């Protein structure tokens, strides 16, 4: 492998791409709003300017619908990419993604319960998110307890426990759907399971934003221990890193962020699995570089994915999981074949 690419140009390019993507994401859709108008509406919303009454529908689309949705795409893309990087280091497995620990299945049980039985009805529009988050939390706790042993959370045990419990949660969810009085529930659940940003509103942003930003900062400041973790537990000890303790707090961090993201966007698959690999292929495996680039790359990817999902067959929406796979699979396989990428052997 040649010398590493320089980081600063990559970060600058991605930052510009993100700004352009966000603007495009807000301007484009089932109705196209000229970028000048978009900027004027945003300016009006932020600084309290005035708009005319016939601009009201455009303003509503830009400020109430698309802006929170695009920002949520940014958060989900960035968050899932970062969590994916961490989880692959945590369980030392290239096939791990944020949902490998059963968190999404747990969340889906919670969400299904809302759709089918109307639990948490008193929470109104937040019922689904709240139930999903509780489900994710419950699943994480269960996985943690079941995987815990004297030697701490060992990578293989974590993966196996996560996968086993995921099957259990899926069974529960299937029963719930089966018992549901109408077919609409199944459709809603499926759509939610494949991920959607359709429910985005300003209210869903702050908690997710704080969680993702906090995780990014904490992890970026601790990227060297993550590198050390990849060397094995014994070597980690000889380098002064307590792998058992590190793994424990990485688990808590990833479970919290994944749970919060799943609660607002469903289980958006593929991003958390593939984005870490894509980024490693380009900038190498050092976690400082990967963790700096992954959130930007993930955010750009997710904004465009969501744009395609809501415009391709407008006014219908496709599940995000479909689009991430359609775009991601060929890109990933092409890059992997071209760059002689290695993860865990030849």
Chain residues that interact with another protein, rule: CB under 8 A: 1-4, 92, 94, 220-225, 227-228, 230-235, 237-242, 280, 284-286, 288, 341-346
Nearest distance from C-beta of residue 29 to another protein, angstroms: 39
Nearer to another protein, 19 or 214 (CB): 214
Nearer to another protein, 102 or 225 (CB): 225
Nearest distance from C-beta of residue 97 to another protein, angstroms: 16
CA torsion 84-89-90-94 (nearest 10°) is 70
Q: Say how many Å lie between the first and final Cα of the chain, rounded.
A: 13
Nearer to another protein, 292 or 297 (CB): 292
Residue 193 tokens, joined: 């399971």
Nearest distance from C-beta of residue 225 to another protein, angstroms: 8
Q: Coil, strand or helix: which one is 82?
A: helix
Nearer to another protein, 187 or 224 (CB): 224
Nearest distance from C-beta of residue 208 to another protein, angstroms: 25
Closest Cα partner for 106 from 193, 180, 188? 193
* Inter-residue contact 212 to 75 (CB < 8 Å): yes
Write the CA distances from 94 to 85, 88, 89, 317, 343, integer angstroms.
Answer: 10, 6, 8, 31, 7
CB-count burial class (<10 Å; 0-12, 13-18, 19+) for 21: buried
Nearest distance from C-beta of residue 196 to another protein, angstroms: 33
Nearer to another protein, 186 or 220 (CB): 220
Closest Cα partner for 5 from 249, 285, 203, 294? 285
* Inter-residue contact 336 to 281 (CB < 8 Å): yes
Distance, C-alpha 310 to centroid of its chain: 18
Nearer to another protein, 194 or 283 (CB): 283
Nearest distance from C-beta of residue 3 to another protein, angstroms: 5
Q: Which residues pair with 139 in a beta bridge?
A: none
CB-count burial class (<10 Å; 0-12, 13-18, 19+) for 249: exposed
Nearer to another protein, 23 or 230 (CB): 230
Nearest distance from C-beta of residue 333 to another protein, angstroms: 18
Closest Cα partner for 42 from 66, 18, 21, 20? 66
């Amino acid at each position: 492998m040649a010398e590493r690419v320089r980081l600063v140009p990559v970060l600058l390019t991605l930052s510009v791409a993100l700004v352009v993507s966000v603007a495009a994401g807000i301007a484009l859709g089932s109705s196209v709003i000229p970028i000048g108008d978009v900027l004027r509406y945003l300016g009006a919303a932020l600084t309290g300017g005035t708009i005319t009454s016939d601009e009201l529908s455009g303003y509503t689309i830009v400020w109430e619908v698309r802006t929170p949705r695009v920002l949520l795409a940014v958060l989900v893309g960035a968050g899932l990419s970062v969590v994916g990087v961490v989880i692959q280091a945590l369980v030392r497995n290239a096939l791990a993604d944020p949902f490998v620990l059963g968190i999404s299945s747990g969340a889906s049980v919670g969400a299904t319960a809302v759709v089918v039985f109307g639990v948490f009805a008193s929470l109104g529009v937040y019922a689904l998110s709240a139930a999903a988050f509780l489900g994710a939390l419950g699943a994480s706790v269960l996985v943690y307890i079941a995987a815990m042993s004297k030697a701490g959370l060992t990578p293989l045990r974590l993966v196996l426990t996560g996968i086993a419990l995921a099957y259990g949660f899926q069974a529960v969810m299937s029963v719930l759907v089966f018992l549901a009085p109408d077919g609409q529930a199944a459709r809603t659940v499926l759509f939610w399971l494949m991920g959607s940003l359709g429910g985005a509103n300003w209210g869903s942003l702050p908690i997710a934003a704080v969680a993702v930003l906090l995780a990014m900062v904490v992890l970026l400041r601790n990227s060297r221990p993550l590198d050390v973790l990849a060397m094995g537990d014994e070597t980690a000890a000889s380098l002064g890193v307590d792998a058992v303790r590190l793994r424990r707090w990485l688990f808590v961090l990833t479970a919290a962020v994944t749970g919060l993201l799943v609660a607002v966007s469903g289980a958006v698959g593929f991003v958390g699995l593939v984005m870490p690999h894509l980024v490693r292929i380009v900038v190498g495996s050092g976690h400082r570089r990967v963790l700096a680039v992954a959130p930007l790359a993930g955010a750009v990817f997710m904004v465009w994915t969501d744009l395609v999902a809501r415009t391709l067959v407008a006014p219908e929406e496709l599940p995000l999981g479909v689009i991430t796979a359609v775009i991601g699979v060929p890109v990933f396989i092409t890059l992997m074949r071209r760059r002689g990428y290695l993860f865990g052997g030849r």
